[in-house]
Amino acid sequence: MCQLLGMNCNTPTDIVFSFEGFTQRGGTTDHHTDGWGIAFFEERACRLLMDCQPSATSPVAHLVRSYPIKSLNVIAHIRKATQGEVNLQNCHPFVREMWGRHWVFAHNGNLIDFHPELDGLYSPIGSTDSERAFCYILQELRRVFEGRTAANPPTPVEINAALKPIAADVARFGVFNFCLSNGQVMWAHCSTNLYFIVREHPFTTAHLLDTDVLIDFADHTTPDDRVAVIATAPLTDNEVWYKMLKNESMMFVNGHPL
Amino acid sequence: MCQLLGMNCNTPTDIVFSFEGFTQRGGTTDHHTDGWGIAFFEERACRLLMDCQPSATSPVAHLVRSYPIKSLNVIAHIRKATQGEVNLQNCHPFVREMWGRHWVFAHNGNLIDFHPELDGLYSPIGSTDSERAFCYILQELRRVFEGRTAANPPTPVEINAALKPIAADVARFGVFNFCLSNGQVMWAHCSTNLYFIVREHPFTTAHLLDTDVLIDFADHTTPDDRVAVIATAPLTDNEVWYKMLKNESMMFVNGHPL
């Protein structure tokens, strides 16, 4: 399996604290050593950094930890291969363009015998069940919103309604926890394991589970800031994380779970 | 305007030497300071690193110079904005997926009043003439090869024949020097300025124009290696670079210009 990390905020925020703990699971505190990746949105485009090396030792992950990139929407993933070889084209997150925006997707789980009919609009580059699921989701969203263009895209609320049955359809094939973002909002679907926390005023301290790092968010925030963090397993040991229900889908907007 | 750098090889090669000189043009020896990017193919997928900071001082460019990534096809670009703001979504190279591969494109030049009719299959994320041209090229290739899929894609030779008239069509709107790759081969089109060199056995020394660095390629190669480097202006001062002709298109395969 793999581990997911998502962040959705109302003000550009760096993910260095969460990423610090998360990447320890790629070789130090856990065995997710088959590559990793992180996508940071900047407006409608994302910056994607990834590596086939374990995240705990990768020079690219070191760059991410030492060069804070602020973003409203971030998705990260560390991989423990279940389907597909260990190589770059099988690393999450996956990125495609739709309606003049990047779309970013990362998956935790395993889909058995999932080979949807793809019409060629989006084709997998690698050999994972995850990328097939992503291509299928985008294809189905295009089908639901046929005729919509970059000049006239569906709203996040419209997309949210369309996404739920598509996610449920794919989830019939196995474990399907995912984070998806188009830079406007973040969608999270829980099939078995997905947690989130919303940090907002009054901010307090947080202590990482995977490495002995403590932060006082009050030192780094304003009273108006709000940040939602989504993860396969809680990243801190002194905060209460909400465990999403089986088959629960949520949309995060400006750090608010809806 | 901007500057282009492309590399096509028959064996995975790092681009550190060329990139070292090239990035000096992003703030030190030249004024291309409005962002930069580099895409390295690994099989059918590419790894894209980019930054809005000048390449001469960017921490991400520092990573590229210090962490040699070997690849058969690389495209890099440093930007001097002519159309579109200075931000990530306007940084080259641009990447899209077609027929189960990444396609990477970078442009040097300026297209005047170029607003092709795009059918929505590929939409620009940013606001540059360059990304519009890339979306148009992919759309037209899809149109020419309608019915082809990831399982049955056209060959590089077929694509090459289809690409020439599309490139000529776009070039009517202004200056259109570009590098394009799908990870199999590299296409280069010269509208005004594009040079290339092929390095092969017997390898000799090369000295960078933009910074005082000398390399003896004989120390880093085998007799079977062959590397083609394409650039807006020669990168070395002791080698003979071939200046491409106006409106000349070339396809590079395994380091061979065809």
Look up the CATH number of the domain holding residue A82: 3.60.20.10
- Specify the amino acid at residue B182: N
Tell me the pLDDT tens digit for each residue of B15-35.
888 888 888 887 777 777 788
Tokens at residue A214, please? 């403590």
Answer yes or no: is the ipTM higher than 0.95.
Answer: no
A57 touches B: beta carbon within 8 Å: no
pLDDT score of A125: 97
- Cβ distance B60 to A48 less than 8 Å, yes or no, reads no
Element (H, E) at B187: strand B186-190
Residues of chain A in contact with residue B50, where contact means CB-CB under 8 angstroms, are 47
Contact B180, B186 (CB under 8 A): yes
Buried b (16+ CB within 10 A) or exposed e, B126-159: bebbbbbbbbbbbbbbbebbeebebeebeebeeb
pLDDT score of B45: 96
**pLDDT confidence bin for B193, thresholds 50/70/90:** very high
DSSP A91-112: PSPEEEEETTEEEEEEEEEEET
| B91 included as an active-site residue | no
Mean pLDDT of B78-99: 90
- Cβ distance B123 to A99 less than 8 Å, yes or no, reads yes
Which one, of A140, A230, A223, lies nearest residue A193 by Cα? A230
Phi and psi at residue B219, in whole multiples of 5°? -75, -15
Torsion of CA B250, B253, B254, B258, to 10 degrees: -50
Name the minimum distance, in Å, from the CA of B207 to any CA of chain A.
28
Contact A91, A37 (CB under 8 A): yes
Tokens at residue A188, please? 């999270």
A68 touches B: beta carbon within 8 Å: no
Query: How many residues comprise chain A?
Result: 258
B153 touches A: beta carbon within 8 Å: no
Contact A194, A220 (CB under 8 A): no
pLDDT score of A188: 98
DSSP B80-122: --SSS-SSGGGPSPEEEEETTEEEEEEEEEEETT------SSS
Residues of chain A in contact with residue B67, where contact means CB-CB under 8 angstroms, are 59-60
pLDDT score of A83: 81
Q: Which residue of A has its CA nearest to B149?
A: A120
Contact B193, B108 (CB under 8 A): yes
Q: How far is residue B193 from each of residues B76, B233, B258, measured CA to CA in Å?
A: 16, 7, 18
Residue B77 CA to residue B75 CA, distance in Å, equals 7
Mean pLDDT of B53-58: 81
pLDDT score of B1: 66
- Specify the amino acid at residue A157: V
Element (H, E) at A43: none
Which one, of B90, B26, B15, lies nearest residue B53 by Cα? B26
Residue A141 CA to residue A196 CA, distance in Å, equals 25
Full domain range(s) for residue B198? 2-257
**pLDDT confidence bin for B57, thresholds 50/70/90:** confident
Question: Exposed/middle/buried for A112, CB within 10 Å: 0-12, 13-18, 19+?
Answer: exposed
Which one, of A192, A198, A187, lies nearest residue A232 by Cα? A192
- Backbone angle region of B113, left / alpha / beta, with phi > 0 → left and psi within -120 to 50 → alpha: left
Per-residue tens of pLDDT for chain A, all 258 residues: 689 999 999 999 998 888 888 888 877 777 777 888 999 999 999 999 988 888 778 888 888 888 888 999 999 999 887 788 888 999 999 999 999 999 999 999 999 999 999 999 999 999 999 999 999 999 999 999 999 999 999 999 999 999 999 999 999 999 999 999 999 999 999 999 999 999 999 998 999 888 888 889 888 899 999 999 999 999 999 999 999 999 999 999 999 999
Contact A161, A141 (CB under 8 A): no
Q: How far is residue B124 from each of residues A100, B89, B130, B139, B242, measured CA to CA in Å?
A: 5, 9, 9, 12, 33
Tell me the pLDDT tens digit for each residue of B199-242.
999 998 999 888 888 889 888 899 999 999 999 999 999 999 99
Q: How many domains does chain A have?
A: 1
A89 touches B: beta carbon within 8 Å: yes
Tell me the pLDDT tens digit for each residue of B119-169.
999 999 999 999 999 999 999 999 999 999 999 999 999 999 999 999 999
A54 touches B: beta carbon within 8 Å: no
Query: What's the angle, vertex CA B119, arms to CA B114 and CA B124, rounded to 5?
Result: 55
